[in-house]
Every structure is written in C-alpha cells, then in structure tokens.
A and B are shown apart, each in its own frame.
Chain A
Amino acid sequence: MNSDIKSLFKQISILLWKETTLEFRNMNALNSVLLYVFSTVFICYQSFTSIPEISVWNALLWIIIIFSSVNAVSRTFNSEPPARQYYYYQLADPVAIISAKILYNAFFLLALSSLSFGVYSIVLGNHIPLTQLSSFMLVLSIGSIGISSLFTMVSAIASRTGNSMGLISVLGFPIMIPLLITVIRASKLIADGLSWNQYAKYVYAIGGIDLMIIALSVILFPYLWRE
C-alpha cells in the first residue's frame, strides 16, 4: 500500500514535469493565452477608460479571468494526439494522470489570474485596498484552483466526443456558476473593505466547492478512461 502511494506520487511528479516541458518547448499556446489576456484587457480599457463603480470593476475582472482560463484549460486534453494519450494511459495510473493535469492547470491559472489582475489594475485602476490585498489574493487563488479543476474535468469529458471545443463551454458554464457567484460575492465584499468575519463564510464555501470538484474528478476520471 505504502509503495503504491509512493509510485503514484512519483508518476504525478514525472507527468507534471512532462506537462511543463511540453508547455515551454511549444511556446505557441502560452503566447496565445498571454496575448488573449492582454488584448481583452485592452479592449475593456478602450471601451470603459476608467471604472469608478466597484461592482462593475469586479464583475469585469472575473469575466476576463474566466474566459482566459477556459481558453487556457480547454487545450489540456487536445494538445496531444489521441494515439499518444493511449500510450500514457498504458504507462500511468489514471488517478496520476488527472492529478497531474489538475495540479499543472491550477499552477498555470494561478499565474495567469495574478497576471490578469496585475495588468487589469494597472490599466483600469485598482479598487482593492492595500490592507485587503492578501485576502483578495487568497480568493483569487482558491477561485482559480476551482475553475481550473472544473474545466480540466469538463475538457476530459468533452475530448471523448467528436466536437470538443464547442462542448466545453456548453457543459462547463452551467456547472461553474455556483463557484462564480460565490467568488464574485466574496471579492466584492473584500473590495468594499469589510472585515474577515463578514466574508469568511464565502471563502469556506469556495474551499468546499474546490475540494468537492477535485474529489469528484479523481473518483470519476478512471471511468472516462476505460475505453
């Protein structure tokens, strides 16, 4: 049993390393996601110039983050040819494969959403008070972990059908809304400068939803894999 867990962790770390190497060897995908973020923020800047209203600022930031994440995560299971995926499935445990994908996407989205927040607040102004910055970063991180794991699983489902790009948004957006509502609520309260006690319940709810999504993905992915 102990050696099983050890080999699982070893597989996860090897797969993570593989994902990272592939990403940096083929910079196209990375660059296109970055370009997507910059151009979306620039379009928002051209249409709004400045946003005095906190709720609009907050909603727009999360919409940018969501769409760039969908763009970034949806290629998870499509970036490699199907034949090579069968090869991985023969070598590795399905739990290791999905865990590595979720971990990689979580790290990727953490970086991507912090970058989006940075660019967005430089161009369109920052409404988060400096004292609240740490709690905002907390919500941003657990929010992007949730979004990344949900879309990793949804893209795993969609990649098994013929037309995956269209299906990812159809399948993903309805079930993402509970997470999105909670995240937007929490960051609005943080931007309004309220204290921890007033938004703690939302942070716990986001954490709970994250754990549930990750647990379900790890349990259900082996069934998707069985062909």
Chain B
Amino acid sequence: MKKNWWKFIPLFAMAYAIPFAFLGEVSVQTILHETIRNLYFHVTMWFSMMILFIVSFVNSIRYLGSNQLLHDYRAAMYAKTALMFGFIGIFTGMVWANNTWGTPWVNDPQLNGAAITILSYLAYFILRNSVKDEQKKARLSAVYNIFAFALMFVLLGILPRINDSLHPGKGGNPGFGKYDLAPAMRTVFYLSILSWTLIGVWISQIQIRILRIQSKKQ
C-alpha cells in the first residue's frame, strides 16, 4: 500500500478532468468551435505516448549497459503501452480531423510521421517475436529501439518543421499555446497529461510483472 499511493492521482484527476472536458467552459476558436475539447484527449494522449517511448528508450540504453533482463522487459512493455496510446491518439485525431479539415486522413507530414512511428514500433515487436533466446532478443531489440527512436525523433521533430503542415504547432502554424486558452483549460490539460502517463506506467508495470512471473515459471 505504501508504494501504491500514486495510483490514486490519475483516479482523482480523471474524475475531475473527464467531466470538465465534456461540460466545462472552453474558449471557442473560429474553425475548431467545440471540437477543442478533443485537446484534452488527443494532444494529451500524444504527450504521454512520447513520455512512455522516452522511458522505453532509456531502458534500452540501460539494458545495453547492464545486461539485466528487467530493463529489457521494461523497454518492451513501455513501448507496448505507448503503442496503444499511439493508436488511441491516431483515432481521436481522425475524429478531430474529420470535423475540422473535412476528412479523417490528409497527406500531412505530421500524420505520416505518426503512422510511420507506429509501423516502426510494430517492426520492433516483430523482431522480438522472431528471436527465441532471451538475452539475444533483448540485445537485438534494444539496438533496434535506440536506432528507431532516434530516427523517429527526426521524423516527428524536424521534418514537419521544414515541410508545410496543416497540423497546429508545425509548418509555421501556431500551437495551441499561442491562443488564449482559458486558465482552467490549461490546468485540466496538464492534469490529463499527468494522469494518462501515470495510467500508462500502471499498465506497463502490470505487464512487466506478468512477464517476470512467466520467465520464472520456465
């Protein structure tokens, strides 16, 4: 119980943030209108996905330094949770795009980057499944994870800035921070990022525990 107190944070934060997201007051923009409420789901989902991918990347580096299988389990399971968040982020983004740009998918550097990120992490799991030996699997997938993460960073961070993009915050478009968001919106936004990330950590911890039990049984 002593170590589990943080699990109450997303519980209470979400109990506040989800009703606020649907009912609270928002600052209405010209094209966005009420769809700006998706800010609490889509954008926060991508923020926590990035945080979880960074955790996975750091664990891959730590595995190469220490050869402890626990770090490999962490890297794989945080990447798995982040991948799930990525899928949810893409779907919420499609709902949003359908209402503001008119179609669920446009050929945009930011959207392509998202799709390719998901593809390269799916490739990461295919690589993991194709190796039987635990240590070998861990080493190969750690190397690929570091390689893919670095290129994904280029893809999501640099390319959308030198190409034109419809997406806010890229290609000369201002991000939402530039608009006058109501102060209450900001609070809820940061609370949502925190609680989605903590929920992701929670899910990953359960998965890591399952993996450890399975490896002990063998």
A contact patch SS:
helix
Query: B residues engaging A (CB < 8 A)?
Result: 64, 109, 112-113, 116, 119-120, 122-123, 126-127, 130-131, 136, 139-140, 142-144, 146-148, 150-152, 154-155, 158-159, 162-163
A162 engages B143 (CB within 8 Å)? no
Query: A residues engaging B (CB < 8 A)?
Result: 153, 157, 160-163, 167, 170-171, 174-175, 177-178, 181-182, 185, 201-202, 205, 208-209, 212-213, 216, 220, 223-224, 226
> Provided the pairs A161-B131, A170-B126, A205-B158 are in contact, do residues A212 and B140 lie with their beta carbons within 8 angstroms?
no
A178 engages B151 (CB within 8 Å)? yes
B130 engages A163 (CB within 8 Å)? yes
Q: Chain B contacts of A223 at CB under 8 A?
A: 64, 139, 142-143
B159 engages A182 (CB within 8 Å)? yes
Q: How far is the CA of A170 from the CA of B123 in the complex (A)?
A: 6
Q: Out of B64, B150, B155, B162, which one reaches A216, CB within 8 Å? A: B150
Q: Chain B contacts of A162 at CB under 8 A?
A: 130-131
Q: Name the distance in Å between A142's Cβ and chain B's nearest Cβ.
A: 15
Q: Name the distance in Å between A119's Cβ and chain B's nearest Cβ.
A: 30
> Provided the pairs A181-B159, A209-B154 are in contact, do residues A157 and B130 lie with their beta carbons within 8 angstroms?
no
Q: Chain A contacts of B64 at CB under 8 A?
A: 220, 223
B127 engages A171 (CB within 8 Å)? yes
B159 engages A178 (CB within 8 Å)? yes
Q: Which of A153, A160, A175, A212 has the most CB of B within 10 A?
A: A175
B143 engages A157 (CB within 8 Å)? yes
B120 engages A220 (CB within 8 Å)? no
Q: Name the distance in Å between A159's Cβ and chain B's nearest Cβ.
A: 10
Q: Name the distance in Å between B123's Cβ and chain A's nearest Cβ.
A: 5
- Supplied contacts A157-B140, A161-B127, A209-B151, 10 more A-B pairs, CB within 8 Å: A153-B147, A157-B143, A157-B147, A161-B140, A162-B131, A167-B130, A174-B116, A174-B123, A208-B158, A223-B143
A160 engages B150 (CB within 8 Å)? no
A226 engages B139 (CB within 8 Å)? yes
> Provided the pairs A167-B126, A170-B123, A224-B139 are in contact, do residues A178 and B147 lie with their beta carbons within 8 angstroms?
no
